[in-house]
Structure 1
Amino acid sequence: MAYPRILTLIADRASTSLTAAQIRAGREMVAGDTPRILSEGEAADIPCPAHAFSQPSIAIIRAAFAGHAIDALLTPSRGRRKGLLVADMDSTIVTSETLDELSRHAGVGEKVSAITARSMNGEIDFEAALRQRVALLKGLSLAALDTTLNETRLTPGARTLVATMRAHNARCALVSGGFTWFTSRIAAQCGFDEHHANTLEHTTDALTGTVGEPILGRTAKLALLQSLAQARGVRLAATLAVGDGANDLDMLKAAGLGIAFHAKPIVRQAIETRIDHADLRALLFAQGYPAAAFVDD
């Protein structure tokens, strides 16, 4: 019997393990078939029937695992593996907000971080917020860019995510509201095929406090998802987008699989498929990849 949906349970391997009892509980909630273990103690797929009134919503399933650092995803069983990955950078592929970290070296960290928080939660316009934050960096030495990059850490699973998808013929693009100075280097570290971001303008030795126009923001991220899919020759249903902030919302909603990753409240509320606990390996499990198929960099 073919089942139209898959319930995927994923544990945050850094803090817990997925137990047989938890898998059994998930199966019972959705009246599912025999589970498929994707990674022992970490992830499992449970085939389940079409949604019925008596079945719990994904919100209820997620709540059942609250406090256990386990993510629950409910996705269609067909077309799980995607041909295009479009990933946000800050607080997604890397663990920090690079602009916020850069601003600390200019002595305006608190001011910039406050603006970033409001922007990422959709409280203020992204483009205006970016110009405002960059203006505060005027005169900052270019050496601070290198220092910030050296302090920036990849999110666990980032390299594995990109390497595995590329090994299975997917194209991977880093699309950020940040800056090409960082995306070019982070894309190279992770193995992305391409990167797109904003231009941080500068003289020979210091930032000018301005950003190149037009600004790559929420609308531009969606447009890039669409154009990259067209160039790749795949439908939007065959795309995966991941991000955490309000400027990611449009592309997350348009992608075949849009995943909110450790996201801001406004994004968690709007996007049903989300990873709140696990690392970026979860995006591979969400596509049905077993850990045995992962390609480690």
Structure 2
Amino acid sequence: MSVATEFAPGLTIQNITAPQKLSAYKLIAFDMDSTLITIECIDEIADATGKKAEVAAITEATMRGEITDFKDSLRQRVGKLAGVTQADMARVLAERLQLSPGAHTLVKAAQNAGLKVLLVSGGFTYFAEHVRDLLQIDFVRANVLEMDNGVLTGGLVDQPWGDICDGAEKRRTLLEVASLLGIDAAQCIAVGDGSNDIPMMQAAGLSVAYHAKPRVRAEAKVCINLGGLDRLLEVLQ
């Protein structure tokens, strides 16, 4: 395994030379929870049922890679959300969801350099579509929470591409969008923080770990350990 080099305080690189040209890439893919936004939405939703600590513990173990079956982990956690109302969800969105520092700056710089932007999340469309609108993101893939008369059932809705957006689906989505754009995986950037981001990071030409778990940092070519997402612009100019 390569030893990471400190490029600047709190910013490490391995197996790349820097700075590089941002415009050399054509697609940038982001995880959402704890990457593009500061929260884990599922943990905050669970707060409405008094189960935040319980759900957050499973989330943390999953992101560290200690729980390896993401689909089973997500189903367990979503099952604990039964009874949460649409009003509860709206409060999480309005009161707790915030973009990560530097998110707007990085996305805008990428768009100005001609890149398309993909949000691909193991979280939920309810929040992902809001973030899409805030940042004018081109493509979104996330999971759909099942709701009956304005109340979460504790289940998920199957979609045409499959049941759950896990690590394998993130990778497949990145490659699918790259194919639609007529570009190579080497022209893609993947940014994430948890173990389920590793498959898409391994497929992309440039992998970026943002305030990530140790296992994810070991896989990434760029690690942002201090500061905001826009620190990537120190490596890609």
Larger-Rg structure:
1
- Choose the corresponding residue for 1:149, options 82, 93, 112: 93
- Structure 1 pair 178/104, CA: closer, same or farther in 2 (3 Å)? same
Counterpart of 2:75 in structure 1 is 131
Structure-2-length-normalised TM-score: 0.90
**How far is 1:284 from its partner?**
2.5
Whether the 8 Å contact between 1:163 and 1:191 is mirrored in structure 2 is no
Matched, 1:209 2:149: no
Paired with 1:240 and 1:208, the residues of 2 have a C-alpha distance of: 36
Counterpart among 34, 44, 68 of residue 91 in structure 1 = 34
Give 2:55's aligned residue.
112
For residues 233 and 128 of structure 2, the distance between their equivalents in structure 1, rounded to whole angstroms, comes to: 22
On the 8 A contact 1:217/1:247 being kept in 2, the answer is yes
- Aligned equivalents of 2:203, 2:139: Cα separation in 1: 20
2:217 counterpart of 1:247: no
Rounded Cα–Cα distance in structure 2 between residues aligned with 1:83 and 1:127 = 30
- 1:136-184 residue CA offsets vs partner (Å, 9 max, x unmatched): 0101111111111111110011111111211221100111000001100
Structure 1: how far apart are the matches of 2:133 and 2:22? 27
Query: Which residue pairs with 2:183 in the alignment?
Result: 234
Amino acid at match of 1:98: C
Cα distance in 2 for partners of 1:71, 1:160 equals 17
Tell whether the 8 Å contact from 1:229 to 1:236 is kept in structure 2 after alignment: yes
Distance in 2, matches of 1:147 and 1:258, equals 33
The aligned amino acid for 1:138 is A
Shift of 1:113: 0.3
Once the two structures are superposed, residues 190-222 of structure 1 have per-residue CA deviations (whole angstroms, 9 ceiling, x without a partner) of 221121100001012200000123101000000
Answer yes or no: is the 8 Å Cα contact 1:225–1:251 preserved in 2.
yes
Asked if structure 2 preserves the Cα contact closer than 8 Å seen for 1:175 and 1:196, the reply is: yes
3-state SS in 1 of match to 2:154: strand
DSSP 3-state at the match of 1:72: strand
* Partner amino acid, structure 2, of 1:172: V
In the aligned structure 1, how far is the partner of 2:31 from the partner of 2:229?
12
Aligned alpha-carbon RMSD (Å): 1.7
Matched, 1:70 2:17: no
Following TM superposition, by how much is the alpha carbon of 1:271 offset from its aligned partner in structure 2, in angstroms?
2.4
Specify the code of the residue in structure 2 equivalent to 1:113: A
Q: Superposed, which structure 2 residues align to 1:1-297 within 5 Å? A: 58-59=3-4, 61-62=5-6, 69-74=9-14, 75-76=16-17, 80-81=22-23, 82-124=25-67, 125-150=69-94, 151-213=96-158, 214-288=163-237
Q: Would you say the 8 A contact 2:211–2:224 is kept in 1? A: yes
Gapped regions of structure 2 (runs ≥ 5): none
The one of the two structures with greater contact order (alpha-carbon pairs below 8 A, sep at least 6) is: 2
Secondary structure of the structure 1 residue equivalent to 2:35:
helix
Say how many residue pairs are matched: 227
Identity across the alignment (%): 37
How much has 1:283 moved relative to structure 2?
A: 2.2
Deviations 1:32-75 (A, max 9, x none): xxxxxxxxxxxxxxxxxxxxxxxxx653x33x97xxx4313352
Measure the CA separation in 2 of the matches of 1:231 and 1:282: 29
